[in-house]
Structures are given as C-alpha cells and as structure tokens.
Structure 1
C-alpha cells in the first residue's frame, strides 16, 4: 500500500484556560450567540425548536455563572435545542460530549420505537469490542438508554420530533471526554455489556497516520482512502500523485468513509476535476438569511472544471455515516456529474455549509449551518441515498462489506462488457 503524508499543522485545543469574565460579559456573549443563530441558521424549517423559549430557559442560567466552564456547558445545552450535528463550539471541557460523527464510533437510531445500532465505525473500539449493526441498545454506563438520553433531549420543542431523539441517542453514545463507556445491548435475547474504550478510546488516540493511502486491489482496481484530511489544500498535490500512480488501473475506488470532519470546497473541486473532461455543476447552494432580510431568494450552483490528466475509467465511491460535510459534497458531486457509482449506507446527513462566528468577550467560537446545500437535482444533500445501499446487519466480524460490494460491482461491470 502506498502512503503519502502531509505535515499536520493542526493542534488539539480542548479545555484551554482563559481568564474569567464578569457575568455581564457572559450575558452579552449569550445574547450575541442566540441572535446570530436566530438570524443565520438555515434549517429552522426542519426543526420544531422554539428558539425564543431557548432564550427564556437559558438566560436565567447565564445570570448565575461565574466561570468559562459553566458558560460552555450552557452553550452546549442551547445547541442541543436545534439537534443538529453540524452545529458546535470550537472548544470543550472534560465534561463535554464528544462530537458526532467525528468523535463517535457508533451510529444509532430509533427503529420501530427501539434504539438500534445502525452502523459501527470500521476498525473502531466499538467494533473491536464486538458491537454490531442491528443490536438493540439497553443501557449506557449502567443507566437505561431512555433515562440517560434525557439530558440531551431538547426542552423547547413545539411538538415531538423523532430526529431530536435520534440526535440525543447519538450524542449519548459518543460519551464524555472524561469517561470511558460501558454499553449494554440485547444480543441473542441476552443482555451483554461492551467496553469500547478499553484500553483506550481509539478515536482520541493520536498516532501518526497518512492523510491519504492508495493501493491496487482485486482485479487491477485502484483504491484511494482519505483519512479525514479534506480540509488541507496541500492534500491536492498528494491526491494528484495518487491518481497518477493509479492511472493504469481499470477502475478506481474512492473511499470517503473516514471524512467525518469535512473540509473545504477547493479540495472538493480539485478531486472532482480529475474525473471530468468538461465543466459541470456539482452542488446547489441557498442562503436563507438573505431572503429573511430582503424577501429575495439567493441560490447558486457551483461549477467544477477539468484538471489533467483526466482519469477516464469507471469510478466507485464508498460512503457511510462517517462520510461528513465536504465528504458528502464530494459524493453527491460525483453522482451529479454522472462520474461514479455511490455504494454504502446513508451518509452523516450533516446539514448545509457551516459559517463560523466568535463571541465578543470570551472569544468562544461557534459554527452552524448558514447555507442550505443540495444535489443539482434538488435533493437536499443530507437526504442523499447511495446508488447501491448496503445492509450492514449482514456484515461478519472482520469483513469490509461495503468494499466487498464495490469489488463485486466492478467485476460485474467488466463481465458485461465481454
């Protein structure tokens, strides 16, 4: 396997210590936070949130705080109210929940009223511990699931929303930075406990890894895996080198299943451009705040331009619930350009394009979706379904079922041409 490395210039900021502020400044910052989200969040039409009620709930709490840590806790609770995995602070405390999807190894939803594991991240602690898709969740750290997720359920909803409950379930399962997880599931009619963070939480263990890996797999197919590196423009040269090395292969597999943190559109267009011979549209945008302010809709479509040498053979793109944000944009772009077959599960379903802001006194940063994003056919990006949907409940231990489907698909395509 070829491995190409980039100098990782990112730093891990968590629980940084800043000077404390008077209560009046925390109040000013919360008002700024609340108003900025009110005016710019682009997915109010999907939510049952009463944002005015959120201010009513949180304002008295802000009046009592004296520490930055307490303030962060209130802001996190406010974000729970819009139950959006693409909305977060740029800082945390040891008591903060890990982010979803980047900080979790379990994707779960309520199915027929029951909390069910939908997918387990490939190679994660949860997978190694033995948790499998299809298992029914019973408890978290010895507390029943229904009781444990109450802390993450919105308190301001106009009416119940199953998506709010799914959000709370995933936030719960991600766990706090400060504690290891014990997850109880119903397995073959018996309660079984799993310990996905023993000896360590693999998602928080920082080791050297390549930002991009490539190799030739079964049937002379090229394979490129991105390791959560879509936010660094230096990846473009690395990717170009990988595509050039695999130019002779009869098909290419692009693996986007480890891109939970998103990236930027420069990298997106650079990747897509290597697979097209003429310009094409790959994604629609809508800025809802402009319509709110002026009454005039603002929409536009983004164009990808070709980049040589163009890879002209068949392409397959692999996706799952850890394909997030820009990773999702690349997947729908390949589909819109009719340049690849998308294979896997639903993606992370992260809403829109995030904008970032900073509070005037504490300088705490926060981000949330301020643009809606769509496939060029009008499908909201978060609702996109892969061309070939893989049932992960049939996965056996150690298998990479999605990759297996891709290899079989490529083989069948060439058999038909004989």
Structure 2
C-alpha cells in the first residue's frame, strides 16, 4: 500500500510538471495549420517559419524568433491561439506535418491557367464580401477561364486579373505585377490637383487659433478660433512611435514596434489633453485618414469614451465557413476626455480609421458629421500566385455588436453633408471660387 501511494504521488508530480511546462517548450518541433487565412506554421526550437499556401505552392511568408512575432494566448494538445499584435487572435490546428507542397516543393512552372485557378480558388476560400460587392464568383470563373485558356503572355494574364480586381471594386484588393507589364497612361494635358496637405493647411489656417503637430503631422491639434472647442486631426493610424524618425526602429521585433506605436499614442494624448482637456467640446477629424493599425485607432478612441463597451466583433472567412466570432471590448483610458465629442468622417475615411468610426458608433454621445466612410474594414490578407505575383484580399468580417457589417457601404453619420465619394471632388468642395469654407466645422461652431 505504501508503494501504491508513493507511485500516485510521483504521477501527480509528473502531471503537474507537464501542466506547468513552458508553452514555448511544448511548441518545439510542432506544425500547425491556421484557420481562415490559408497559412501554416512550423516551429523548431524557438524559431518559426510562417507559410502562405495554396493547392499548388507553399512559400515562406515570415520567419524568425517566435516570441518577437507572436504572443501566445493559449495552447492545448491540438489548438494554438496566437496574437500577431492586433485585435484579432490567430487560431491554429495541430497537424503531424506541414502540407506536402511545403515539404517537397514543386519547381515546375505553373501555367497561365493554373495561376488563374489559384487566384480564383484563394478568393473563393477566403474573400468574405462577394454578396456585399454584388459579385457572382462562380460566374466570374465561367466567364474568364475560356479567355485564360487562349492567352499567350504574362501581360494578357495580368490584364485579365486586373479586370477582375476592378470588377470587385474593393480598396483592399491589390495585384502587384512587374512594372514591365503595367500599361502606361499618358495624360493629354497636365492636371493640377489639390493635395491633401494643402487642404489640411487651409483648415488649420482658417479655423485654428494655434496648431501643434506630432511626428510630421500624423496628428495635429489646437483650439477653434473664437470658441471653447478643441480640434484634433488624425491623418494616419501609423507612425505614432516616439522614435518614428530613428531608422533603427525597423530592426526591432514586430511586437516591440506595435507596442511602441501604442506607447506613442499615450505619449501624445497626454500632451493633447493638457492643451485642450478643459475645452467644452472637441472635434476629431478623420476625413483624410486612410487607415493603418486598428490597435492605434482603438487606443486613440479610448481617450474619448467613458465606459467599457462591446464595440465590434470579428470573424474570418474560410473554405468551410467562418471562424469563431471574437468580441472586442473597448475600455476608457485612465485620463479620458470628458467634454462633448464630434467626429468628422468622409468617403476617404478608410480601413483602421473606419474601425475607429465603427467602435465610436456604439457611443451615442459621439456625434458624427460628414458622410459615410469608405467601407473597407478587414486587415489586408496578402497571398501569392505560383508565378510570384502578390495579391491581397479582405477575409475578416467586422460587425457592430448587433452583427451588422458596413462593408461596401461604410459607417453612416448622424449629420449628412453629402460629400462626394470622388477624392478630388471632395477636396474641391471646400472651395467656392477663392473662398475656403469647412461646412462641418461651421456647423459645430454655430451650435
């Protein structure tokens, strides 16, 4: 009996040691397939190789030290959850080995038809918005395959794929082809175009009593003339890190770079709130913001809300349905702004800037003015054809807490100014002859 108890104790100690084993140790020499992204992961010792896969090829996308690229959220025998530095966790299923094409790479040159089929299959498996974009994807295959079978050059293949991309009309879809295959467009006459920088300067000169900027104007702020209202213009959701001008920042591990961006937001928001924190209201201008990091966007928004809220949910499209829904809860910053908040939006407000707008939509006290946003929310999923051409698509579905998506339509505003969706026409709408005026700011000033 004594030996029996002794054996049980040893077993309990051993099982406890296994349960407490370092996750990085458990991950050594393992292989994983990601859900919803067409990718897989090989981990050897502390290093990883992250692969992009399709039915023909398997090519390394990134490699390096696992701890510097991913945060381990959870791990059990068959499931691994990693976070790459964003708000969406990546879910992996354990496999005995990588897909065959990752182990025995086929060096044969893929035909034009095979490249087309990989392009079509990748969208079929991972693109989430055919319905929203009014695209019959099966019909696209039937329409274009006969044409692909007749082509005799890379140029012809490029033209067909570009035609399909234009048909979908999604700002997150891109096709990177060699410069030699691009069609050169020669303008008949030089066109003088109004630049974003000129428009932003005109707003600042016309309406702000004092303008301060951070990191070459990624964010600028001041007080509106003749009022007790602050004004903050955010033109990008990148480049907030304090060492933005230091070239050595690019050598940092990705997770460190992402943390630096968030720390930069905290740094500059302390300055901004010190300057305008006592104002009765603040205008946040995202009308010229094309996106960046969703974590930066939500970190910035946290300084203008007062309660925890489920503000959005995310899931990813796979060939077997969608991944599990992930809910995001926004928490206010410790020193959040307490006055009224006006949010300015336009059709040029895109991607991560729209995630700011989508999350703000859950706070009725934040008044939105302008026009609905662009309608492209997903993180860009980059893939590669067998011939080496890279392309991107939208595979992540962002919804509000009620499950509604604004993909293709954009986040609406409460006060509509009917801005043009055309960028140049939108810019020109601020001018009437030689007179510059901003209807959105004017509307706020008369309240």
Q: TM-score range by the shorter chain?
A: 0.5 to 0.7
Question: Which of residues 148, 153, 173 in structure 2 aligns to 1:66?
Answer: 153
Cα distance in 1, alignment partners of residues 113 and 380 from structure 2: 22
Cα offsets for 1:16-63 (capped at 9, x unmatched)? xxxxx9973544333222111001111223344332332344344376
- Tell me how far apart the structure 2 counterparts of residues 279 and 258 of structure 1 sit (CA, whole Å): 28
Structure 2 CA distance for partners of 1:177 and 1:46, relative to 1, 3 Å: same
Partner of 1:259: 289
| Secondary structure at 2:110 match in 1 | helix
Partner of 1:40: 126
Mapping 1:371-386, distance limit 5 Å = 371-382=396-407, 383=409, 384-386=411-413
- Residue 282 of structure 1: which of 277, 292, 311 is its match? 311
| Partner residue, 1:215 | 222
Is residue 360 of structure 2 the alignment partner of residue 330 of structure 1?
Answer: no
2:315 touches 2:325 (CA, 8 Å); kept in 1?
A: yes
Q: How far 1:322 moved relative to its partner?
A: 0.5
CA 1:282 to 1:94, structure 2 compared with 1: closer, same or farther past 3 Å?
farther
Contact 2:116 2:148 in 1 (8 A): no
Q: Distance in 1 between matches of 2:188 and 2:439?
A: 26
- The 1-side partners of 2:330 and 2:240 are apart by 16
8 Å contact kept, 1:282–1:333: yes
SS at match of 1:298: coil
Q: Tell me the distance in 1 between the aligned counterparts of 2:152 and 2:274.
A: 57
Greater CA drift, 378-387 or 58-67: 58-67
Does the residue aligned with 2:288 lie in a helix, a strand or coil? coil
Residues 27, 63 of structure 1: 8 Å contact kept: no
Closer, same or farther: CA 390–32 of 1 in aligned 2, 3 Å: same
> Which residue number in structure 2 is paired with residue 29 of structure 1?
115
SS at match of 1:46: coil
Most deviating of 310-319 and 87-96: 87-96
Question: What do the CA deviations read for 1:125-162 (whole angstroms, capped 9, x no partner)?
Answer: xxxxxxxxxxxxxxxxxxxxxxxxxxxxxxxxxxxxxx
Number of aligned residue pairs: give it. Answer: 288
Cα drift, residue 332 of structure 1: 2.2
| Structure 1 CA distance for aligned equivalents of residues 233 and 177 of structure 2 | 28
Q: Which has the higher mean CA deviation after the structures are superposed, 263-272 or 363-372?
A: 363-372
Q: Which residue of 1 aligns with 2:417?
A: 390
After TM superposition, list the pairs within 5 Å mapping 1:120-131 onto structure 2: none
Aligned equivalents of 2:185 and 2:216: distance in 1? 24
Q: Relative to 1, partners in 2 of residues 1:65 and 1:314: Cα closer, same or farther, differing over 3 Å?
A: farther
1:353 paired residue number: 378
In the alignment, what sits opposite 1:367? 392
> Which deviates further from its counterpart, 392-401 or 303-312?
392-401
CA contact (8 A) 2:281 2:341 kept: yes
Deviation by residue 1:101-134 (Cα, 9 ceiling, x = unmatched)? xxxxxxxxxxxxxxxxxxxxxxxxxxxxxxxxxx
Equivalence for 2:340: 314
CA displacement at 1:93 relative to structure 2:
4.7
Q: Distance in 2 between matches of 1:319 and 1:221?
A: 18
Summarize the Cα distance change of 1:277–1:203 in structure 2 as closer, same or farther, 3 Å threshold. closer
1:404 pairs with 2:442: yes
Alignment match, 2:233: 225
Larger radius of gyration: 2
Following the alignment from structure 1 to structure 2, what is the Cα–Cα distance between the partners of residues 331 and 27? 41
Partners of 2:302 and 2:134 lie apart in 1 by 39
Shift of 1:339: 4.5
Is the deviation greater in 37-46 or in 386-395?
386-395
Say whether the 8 Å CA contact 1:274–1:306 is kept in structure 2: yes
Deviation per CA, 1:75-106: give whole Å up to 9, x if none: 2112133233332225675986xxxxxxxxxx
Separation (CA, whole Å) in 1 of partners of 2:177 and 2:277: 42
What value does the CA root-mean-square deviation take over the aligned residues?
Answer: 3.5
Specify the SS of the correspondent of 2:124. Answer: helix
Unaligned runs of 5+ in 2: 1-106, 199-214, 242-260, 421-428
Per the TM alignment, residue 353 of structure 1 is displaced from its structure 2 partner at its CA by 1.0
What CA distance in whole angstroms lies between the structure 2 residues aligned with 1:94 and 1:221? 52
Q: Please say if 1:299 is aligned against 2:306.
A: no
Q: State how far apart, in whole Å, the 2-side matches of 1:42 and 1:267 are.
A: 24
